[in-house]
Structure 1
Amino acid sequence: MDKIAVLVPCYNESKTVKKVVEDFRRVLPEAVVYVYDNNSTDGTAELAQEAGAVVRHEYQQGKGNVIRRMFREIDAEVYLMVDGDDTYPAEAAPEMVKKVVEQQSDMVVGDRLSSTYYTENKRPFHNFGNSFVKNCINRFFDTNIQDIMTGYRAFSYQFVKTFPVLSHGFEIETEMSIHAADKHMQVDHVIIEYRDRPEGSVSKLNTFSDGFKVLTRIMNLYKNYKPLGFFSLLSAILAVLGVAFLIPILTEYWQTGLVPRFPTLIVCGFVLIAALQSLFAGLVLQSMEQKNKQDFEMQLIAAHERYQELLKDGERGA
């Protein structure tokens, strides 16, 4: 088992990957730097290998697929995930690792938004999107994570081996943040100095399509992690619509004793039944989610036992 594993997912980062590998090897000489190439066509893998990284490949396109492969294949005491675009300073890595080792953090977030992100980043919609997503998640999940979509994070062994990677693309960071908040894992922050991509390096993010994917993922995760809140909201909306259309019918019936709009009355009845069903669905799914949380605690115990076994094996090997 590695002491520290630096995980660098890459897709066409030939302009920057060599510097990223060299920087992290310099500040974390005891770490193994893994570059996972995701079908690059510009020689990224070769440059990373020349710089001293262990190069592996993931052939399913998408950052989420790369992270899934990394987490599955690598055993380490501490994991440090960083993008290969040289926008994150390697100098912050020792402090992030220290929080995992000494303060038992499950996830350490490299916080860009509290420092230079809004001045360095030249894409205003990205600035708005990061703030919007942060506020949504902190409100929905009652947490206080300062940078939801940063690609610079440190993890414990227990987090990595119990995190179910479901996203395929750039929504993965959002999924990590929500998972940590929902499972009451210890999340700490290190403020980092973000810098924009160097000249010639091109972002793979599409502001609108990827932003839509992130928002869709937030709603899906809210439904899965907070089913009572989601279905109660849906039930309330249906109930309001049903009652709003039902009131004129009842008023007319009280005044005349007649119900001339039977189709509307029937639809209102079905809408109110759907509202009731939605509420009960939320109650049932909330009970199931509680059981999932109990099972997750047992998974954490099993992961911790496996972690201790790997440490003992390493000591015997040494």
Structure 2
Amino acid sequence: MGSMNLQTSRPQIAVLLPCYNEELTIGKVVQDFHAALPDATVYVYDNNSTDRTAQIAAEQGAVVRAEPRQGKGNVIRAMFEDIDADVYIMADGDDTYPADAAPKMAAKILEGYDMVIGDRLSSTYFQENKRPFHNFGNKLVRGSINGLFSAHVTDIMTGYRAFSFTFVKTYPVLSHGFEVETEMTIHSLNNNLRLYEMPIQYRDRPEGSVSKLDTVGDGIKVMSTIFRMIREYKPMPFFSGLGLLLSLAGFGFTLSVMIDFYRTGMVARFPTLIGAVMLVIAGLLLIITGIILDVTAKNDRKAFIVESNRFALFRRSQRGR
């Protein structure tokens, strides 16, 4: 083969559809993405479906693969590992996201963005989604993450996203289930990646299609993911905040003992004094822990930048052949 110029070669686009029991909608979704992106390859990863999801997807021209590890996070990990492309479009197989937005999302990735977020919350989500606890959860997660990272992301948990090659190959998928979208957003904000939010027209599932979300269970998983990632990515405010609270409590108890000593000339509450000193020491240890882990987190961010640059260079060299 002759050499191909990077500027004139056609970008490779992969549409990623993780699916579990979506036979009612998967055929239409595959058709819609084929129509919106005729040159793209549509991949359907079947996550142990018990219906005809895989068969219908194959009949509509999708590349169908099986992922035995249950959970959306596991499916996305397999997709990111297996598939090489210049642009990745990730959506769900439940026909809630419009395929006609995909070309604009792909164009933004080709402009240089690392991740494009399909923003449901700025358009029709709260009218279409009839589950009030889901709406409340979205607002809670959005407020928590934006406050911590001083960001302004509107839709933290959307499943409609586009990614660059470098993002896909350097993003460590740690979550197993639906909390993976929250993890992606936190990872991007922590590493100061180039994000672009694009409002999309969300529509609720068609009648007869059953959501796989467990409002309480998945909500707990999402909040635990936020808690874990705050601990890892923002150790200074996390540990130092706890340490400051413990130290203040210890100083408060110590002050009460000192006031009694000033009045009576005796230390009558030795257990309180000992407990107060231990609280102060524990608080100081937590503050020191936060400082040490903050240095480690900064070094991790430096290593991530170096790794991202290496993958970007590798992809450019491949495309230039």
Scaled to the shorter chain, the TM-score interval is over 0.9
| Partner residue in 2 for 1:132 | 140
Partner residue of 2:108 out of 86, 99, 102: 99
Q: Helix, strand or coil: the match of 1:80?
A: strand
| Partner residue in 2 for 1:69 | 78
Sequence identity, in percent? 53
| Partner residue in 2 for 1:50 | 59
CA distance in structure 1 between the partners assigned to 2:248 and 2:90 by the alignment: 46
Contact 1:245 1:268 in 2 (8 A): yes
1:120 counterpart = 2:128: yes
Contact 1:88 1:194 in 2 (8 A): yes
Q: Helix, strand or coil: the match of 2:320?
A: helix
Q: Normalization by structure 1: what TM-score?
A: 0.96
**1:225-244 equivalent positions in 2, closer than 5 A:** 225-244=233-252
- Cα deviation for residue 242 of structure 1 reads 1.4
| Partner residue in 2 for 1:295 | 303
| Partner residue in 2 for 1:188 | 196
CA distance in structure 2 between the partners assigned to 1:241 and 1:209 by the alignment: 34
The code of the aligned residue for 2:147 comes to: R
1:218 counterpart = 2:226: yes
| Partner residue in 1 for 2:3 | none
| Partner residue in 1 for 2:261 | 253
The code of the aligned residue for 2:246 comes to: L
Q: Helix, strand or coil: the match of 2:220?
A: helix
Q: Helix, strand or coil: the match of 1:306?
A: helix
List gaps (5 residues or longer) in structure 1: 314-318
CA distance in structure 2 between the partners assigned to 1:181 and 1:73 by the alignment: 25
Shift >3 Å, 4+ stretches: none
List gaps (5 residues or longer) in structure 2: 1-9
Alpha-carbon deviations, 1:184-223, whole Å to 9, x = none?
1110011101000000101111111111110111011011
- Cα deviation for residue 2 of structure 1 reads 7.0
Contact 1:12 1:43 in 2 (8 A): yes
CA distance in structure 2 between the partners assigned to 1:120 and 1:198 by the alignment: 11
1:90 counterpart = 2:95: no
CA distance in structure 2 between the partners assigned to 1:121 and 1:143 by the alignment: 25
Contact 1:6 1:80 in 2 (8 A): yes
1:141 counterpart = 2:149: yes
The code of the aligned residue for 1:175 comes to: E
**1:297-316 equivalent positions in 2, closer than 5 A:** 297-313=305-321
